[in-house]
Chain A
Amino acid sequence: MGNLLGSFNARNVNLNMDDKPTFDPQEGFSYERKPREMIAKEEDLISARIPPKYRDYCAHHLLEYQVCRYKNVPLMYKCAHEKHAYLNCEHQDYVMRMKEFERERRLRVRENRLIGVA
């Protein structure tokens, strides 16, 4: 229901959870926005056999977590710090994506208002 209620109003402007951003990323900002940078290297991810769907912007934390797990077998609870760092990063990433979603929704509403769709 987190997603259901969060995206409820977006249906009015035909915006769904999987849609990509359609507006200029710079629109409405006074300063220049930088694209996010990927910290983990591709070859590290490949050598650590991280599946493609986990190769996101928090993958460097994930690598650290995997290293810690490898060192602390089988007492993996010792990696609680690394796991928390990874999940925290994922949380920040989620918040950022939700903000982008909301920006997209508001920009669409604004566009509709300017055109006069009601």
Chain B
Amino acid sequence: MHQKFSICFISFFFLFFFMLMNLFMMIYFIISNLTIMIEWEIISFNSISIVMSILLDWMSLLFMMFVLLISSSVIYWKKSYMSSEINLNRFIILVIMFVLSMILLIISPNIISILLGWDGLGLISYCLVIYYQNVKSYNAGMLTALSNRIGDVMILMVIAWMLNYGSWNYIYYLMFMKNDFFMNVISIMIILAAMTKSAQIPFSSWLPAAMAAPTPVSALVHSSTLVTAGVYLLIRFNLLLEDMFMLKILLLFSGLTMMMAGISANYEYDLKKIIALSTLSQLGLMMSILSMGYGDLAFFHLLTHAMFKALLFMCAGVLIHMMNDNQDIRMMGGLSIFIPVTSLCFNISNMALCGIPFLAGFYSKDLILEVTMMSNLNMMVLYLYYFSTGLTMFYTIRLMMYLMINDFNLMSVYNLYDEDYIMLKSMMILLFMSLISGSMLSWMIFCYPYMIFMSLNMKLMVIYVSLMGGMMGWLVSKMNIYSVNKFLMMYNLNMFFTLMWFMPNLSVYGFNYYILSFSKNLYKNIDMGWSELFSGYGMFNLIKNYSLISMIYQMNNFKIYLFSFVFWMLLIMLMILV
């Protein structure tokens, strides 16, 4: 890799250039309230026309801009992180294909081209998860691919069902078809597809498992692009989904996802899995505010979250490199003394995640919580929201105490360095963005601002909850191996929370196992059994038997001649005599 321009730099340059182009276009579009649709008819068959269409409005341009910014800085970062990789070109090409399929998904208002982008995301994410070739990666990749396949099938069924309407451009008749019963069926399928992609509760086991991927992939894929595809799809379908009963179920599930992920993150010791679970928690937040009908708030949180979560993963990657490829947070500690700049990035992105005022996460998260407070919902939903906010602070403070404050474990001394300027430069881009993007976006995208009006204590509820969560996190991180461990008194409950409410077990042993063993039986009994007996082997046997019979005649033709001669002679004589 001693060329003047490496593939990483070239990819970075082009992606960054497109990002700037998108930025200027986005500002123009948002201020002139412009939407552009480009259609290209591929085939027209009777009354069905299959078109390739492109939708450019401020939402798609803004999302594209964020995806390109994150992917460009991640690719630039990769030059240092994956410098010892042999197949770097293959890796970069995979990542760029991933970004392209995400962009295809973003700009398409057509369910067929959405399926193209959607399937591209699924397939390439599978390839990226199994990039490090070992059994754990294979299992994680298979879990990811199979969980996402449910969503793919749902979208395929939506395509099949939309044949009735003669067009797959759902954007055109979202309002028109709102009270149609079959459109409700379609939107239920769309919600299910989005739930698989965004890892909501029945399907959420794949997101932490997918952390077997290389860290740059996690930074790009599992924080900002792949998992937000479901949220983005639902934002696009938002008009259709208003006042649906399924949305209330989605609200419950996403609220539970938020809480489940927050609790599990507190029991986790794997650095990347903690971050993955916090992603899951934020996804639940997005989905739940979306299911209350505030698509723009979900979009806002999606964007700010993408920024600081990508930065968080990149810092985690640096830490993992330094710790001799060890991901266990118990092996780390006191890092703020040894690697101050990376720790700075890590802490700022963590604080933004918690919603500390005037960082990126504050603007979106606080707005979401206040809008929840303002809207007419029951106590349970509010409890889920606020409890999860406290849990965010809980696991973040715990993680920070383990990594930054506690004593250094001397796991690796030789590796500690903070002068990798390639990594630092790309992290600085995202650091800057996670400082300003919240404020910038809240001015930029809210043409119609939200009015928030509530009493002082309700306004400060977020702060109270965060303070309590932070205190709990500090207390939990004080736990030592020789301290009196009350966790063992509730061992079963402990396991329940550690294993994400047994969801990985349910979706692997409980679901995939039975389906796979059922298909093994089908293979044994149908493919290799009955259908073989009746079609392949059976037909051969039948023809063989018939040809054996005719062979008997052929082999014995002299005897048969004589026999038939005698027989006919006897017959004729009998006829003459009678």
Contacts and interface: CB of A to CB of B under 8 A. Distances in A.
A74 interface: yes
Contacts of B455: 2
Contacts of A73: 27, 31
Interface size class of A (residues with CB under 8 A): 20 to 34
Nearest to A86: B449
Interface in A72-101: 73-74, 76-77, 79, 83, 86-87, 90-91, 94-95
Nearest to A78: B443
Contacts of B373: 1-2
A17 interface: yes
Interface string B19-34: 0000000010001010
Q: Which of A76, A91, A95 has the most CB of B within 10 A?
A: A76
B453 A91 contact: yes
Range of interface residues on B (Cβ < 8 Å): 20 to 34
Interface in B445-500: 447-449, 451, 453-455, 458
B376 A7 contact: yes
B451 A94 contact: yes
B578 interface: no
B374 interface: yes
Nearest to A58: B451
Contact of A87 (B379, B449, B454): B449
Interface string A3-43: 11001000000000100000000000000000000000000
B31 A70 contact: yes
A102 to B, nearest CB: 15
Main secondary structure of the interface of A (DSSP, over half): helix
Contacts of A83: 449
B382 interface: yes
Contacts, number: 50
Nearest to B445: A76
B444 interface: yes
A3 B374 contact: yes
A74 B444 contact: yes
A47 to B, nearest CB: 11
A17 B376 CA distance: 8
A76 B453 contact: no
Contacts of B448: 50-51, 54, 62
B554 interface: no
Nearest to A73: B31
A79 B443 CA distance: 9
A86 B31 CA distance: 19
A87 B451 contact: yes
B377 interface: yes
B87 interface: no
Interface string A51-80: 100100000001001100110011011010
B44 interface: no
A49 interface: yes
Contact of B378 (A4, A49, A62): A4
Interface in B269-292: none
Contacts of A17: 376
A41 B564 CA distance: 111
A54 B451 CA distance: 12
A3 B376 contact: yes
A26 to B, nearest CB: 28
Interface of A: 1-4, 7, 17, 49-51, 54, 62, 65-66, 69-70, 73-74, 76-77, 79, 83, 86-87, 90-91, 94-95
Given A4-B376, A77-B439, A90-B451, 19 more contacts: A1-B382, A2-B374, A2-B453, A2-B454, A3-B374, A4-B377, A4-B378, A49-B33, A50-B448, A66-B447, A70-B31, A73-B27, A74-B27, A76-B443, A77-B443, A79-B443, A86-B449, A87-B449, A87-B451
Interface of B: 27, 31, 33, 373-379, 382, 439, 443-444, 447-449, 451, 453-455, 458
